[in-house]
Structure 1
C-alpha cells in the first residue's frame, strides 16, 4: 500500500517527455478555439443555467446513477420509487454543487489567484458542495477495504476517508497518509497557473486525484467538478460547454485511459517516476480531445443563422399542438430572433415586435410562447427573455442531449 507521496510521481510530464510538445500545442489550440466561441447575446445569461441539468445528468450517468426526471426534481416533484427519487436528489445536488463551485472561482484571471485550487481545501469544497445537499440515507456508501473486507458508512461531506479501500485492481494510498499526498499534489501543480500549461496541470490532477481516491464515495463526481471549475476559472467554458458530456459519451475510453495512467513506469523510456509518464500523457491527451470536441460541437450549435432556423422549425412544429395553436398567428419568429440577438426586452417592445392590431391576439401568442417555455419573465414589470427548458433541447440544440430529446413538458 502506498504511503510515500513520491509514489504518485510524475505529477506532470517532464520537459523532455515524448509527446509533451504535442500536448502543449493541443492545449493552446483548445484555448484559441474556446476564446473564439461566440454566444448570442440573448443566451449569455440563460444558457449556463439551462445546461446544468445536462452536466448533472452526464456526470451521474458515468456513475450509473442518472435520471431524466430532473425538471420535476427541481420543482420538488420526486418519484414514488425510492431508487428514482434518490437519483433525482443526486441530480439536483450536482447542479447546486456546480453553481456553488463556479461562484467560488468567478472573477479570477488564472488558477494561481484561486485560494487552494490544487490543495485540500478546494478539493474538499467540491465534494462538500455535492454531499451537503443530500439526506443521510443518500450518503450511505459501501465498498471493499484493502484487506478484502466490506465497509459501510455515512459519507461526510468534504471529509477524507478514514479507512483504506480497494477500487477494482487499484489499492489507493493509505488513509493515514492522504494529507501528505495532497500537499505533494499542491506543490507539484500550484505554479501551473495560466493556460495552456494550466490545462495540462488540471487534467494531470484529474487522474492523480482519482488515483488517490480521497473520499469514501463521490470521488469521480468531485474530481470532474474540480476539472470543470478549473476550465471555468480560466474563462474557457463560459457556461456553454463542459467535459461532462464528452466523458459520458466516451465512458469506456475515459475509464480505460484513467486505468492505464495507474500503471507503474514501463521501462527506462517511460519517465523517471513511479507511475507511467507515457500513460499520463495519454490521459491528458484524451481529456484535451474531449474538450476540443465539446467546443466545436457547441460552436455549431450556437451559430446564429442555424439557431434562428431551428427556432422557426420549432414554432412551426409546435403550432399544430392543441396546447399552443396561436404560436404563428403573429410575428413570433421576429420577436424571438430579437430576444436571441439583443437579450431581455420590455413587454411593450415585445408586443410591438409581434405586430398585429389586436391585443387579445397578442395575449394568445404570448400565452402560447410561455406555455411552450421559450420565453419567461420574472415579474409583471420585468422584461421577457429567452428560456431553454429541457423539452426544447430537441429543437434548439439537437444532438446535444440525445437522451432528453423525447422529454415532454412537465
Structure 2
C-alpha cells in the first residue's frame, strides 16, 4: 500500500487545476480543523466556523478550531516557501512540536487550557518543563524526565529516512510513537495530527485536496483501538527489539495507510468529471439557493467548466451559458453573490471557482459529518 499511495496522490493532483486546488485548500483546512476537533469531542458546524473566521473578532480567535486553521495555513506557507531549506529530520524537531502546540493553544480560553488540579497549561511547554506525569484513559505516559530524550530519539530514528517510501512509513509510525510519549500535558492529539499532515505535505503526499483527519474521524473507534494496541509491550522474543510491540506498530501503520488511501480515493471520485458534471446539474436544479437566484440549467455547465479549468476570463464564462449577453451577465452576477464564482474585483478580467461551505457540502457528499 505504501507503494500505491504516491501514484494515487499524483493522479489526484494531476486531475485538478492549480487554481481549483488552491481554493479547495481553504476548504480542506477547515475540514481538517473540524475533524481534528471532532476527534477531541469538540464540535463547531463548518458553516458557523466559516463565518466566525470571516468576523475575525478577538473573542473568536481563541477558538481552537480557528487556531487550528491558522496554524495549518501558517506552517504550510513556511513549507512552501522554504522547502529547499527544511530537511526531513527538521519535521521531527522538538522545537517544531513546541511551535505547533504554542500556535494551536495561544489565546485559548481557560477552559481549554485547564488541566489537573485546576492549573492552566502553558502553550508550547513540554511535560519535562512543567515536571508533570499524566495518565490518559488507561495509558500511563512515560515519566516526564524522559520526554525530551525520547523525542530526540524519535527524530533520530524517523528523521533519518532518506527515500519517499521510507519517509511515508516513518511518518505513519511516528504518529503513534509521538502520541505514546504524550509530550504535552494536553492537546497532544491535535499536535500529532498536525505533524502528520505537514510531514505528508513535505514528501508531496499530503495536499490541499484531502484530509487525513476526516479519515481518522470516520474510523475513530478503530483509530483509538489501534493506538492502544501499539502501546502494548512486546508479545514475545520475536516481536521487535524495543519495549513496545513491533507487530502492533506495523498494524497501526497499515491502518493509517488505509485511511490515507480511502481519503485520496474519496476526493478522486468526487472530482471525477462525469460525476462532477451530473452532481452540479442536480445541485443547480434542486438546491433552493440556486432556484431563488434564478440560475438556469446552463449555469451548471458554466460552473463545471470553471472548476475543471480553474481560471477563465469573464467573457469566456459568459459564453459558456450560450445565452444572450445580458442574460449571461445577470447569471454571472448571481453566481458571484452566491460565492460559487469568485472575482478579485468587480471588474476583474479573470474568474475563479468558489467553494462556500454550503456548496462544498453538496458537491462532496458527507464532507462534513458527525461520525458516531
After TM superposition, the score normalised by the length of structure 1 is 0.81
Between the aligned partners of 1:138 and 1:239, the Cα distance in structure 2 is 31
Matched, 1:125 2:99: yes
Among candidates 243, 246, 249, match of residue 274 of structure 1 = 243
Q: Aligned pairs, how many?
A: 362
Between the aligned partners of 1:342 and 1:67, the Cα distance in structure 2 is 32
Between the aligned partners of 1:116 and 1:320, the Cα distance in structure 2 is 47
Aligned partner of 1:350 in structure 2 is: 317
Matched, 1:230 2:203: no
Shift in CA distance, 77/125, structure 1 to aligned 2, threshold 3 Å? closer
TM alignment of 1:9-408, pairs within 5 A: 26-37=1-12, 38-41=14-17, 43-68=20-45, 69-76=48-55, 89-106=63-80, 113-114=87-88, 116-132=90-106, 134-143=107-116, 151-161=117-127, 162=130, 163-318=132-287, 323-325=292-294, 327-328=295-296, 331-359=298-326, 361-382=327-348, 383-403=350-370
Between the aligned partners of 1:348 and 1:401, the Cα distance in structure 2 is 35
SS for the counterpart of 2:231 is: coil
Query: How far does residue 47 in structure 1 lie from its aligned partner after superposition?
Result: 0.9
After TM superposition, the score normalised by the length of structure 2 is 0.89
Query: How far does residue 319 in structure 1 lie from its aligned partner after superposition?
Result: 6.5
CA shift digits 1:173-204 (9 cap, x unpaired): 22233211111111111211332111111111
Query: How far does residue 231 in structure 1 lie from its aligned partner after superposition?
Result: 0.8
Between structures 1 and 2, the one with greater helix share: 2
| Contact 2:63–2:109 (CA under 8 A) maintained in structure 1 | no
Shift in CA distance, 394/186, structure 1 to aligned 2, threshold 3 Å? closer
Between the aligned partners of 1:168 and 1:230, the Cα distance in structure 2 is 27
Query: How far does residue 120 in structure 1 lie from its aligned partner after superposition?
Result: 0.1
Between the aligned partners of 2:23 and 2:239, the Cα distance in structure 1 is 46
Aligned partner of 1:15 in structure 2 is: none
Which shifted more, 93-102 or 220-229?
A: 93-102
Between the aligned partners of 1:77 and 1:35, the Cα distance in structure 2 is 35
| Contact 2:276–2:304 (CA under 8 A) maintained in structure 1 | no
Between the aligned partners of 1:111 and 1:304, the Cα distance in structure 2 is 38
Query: Gaps (5+ residues) in structure 1?
Result: 1-25, 144-150, 405-410
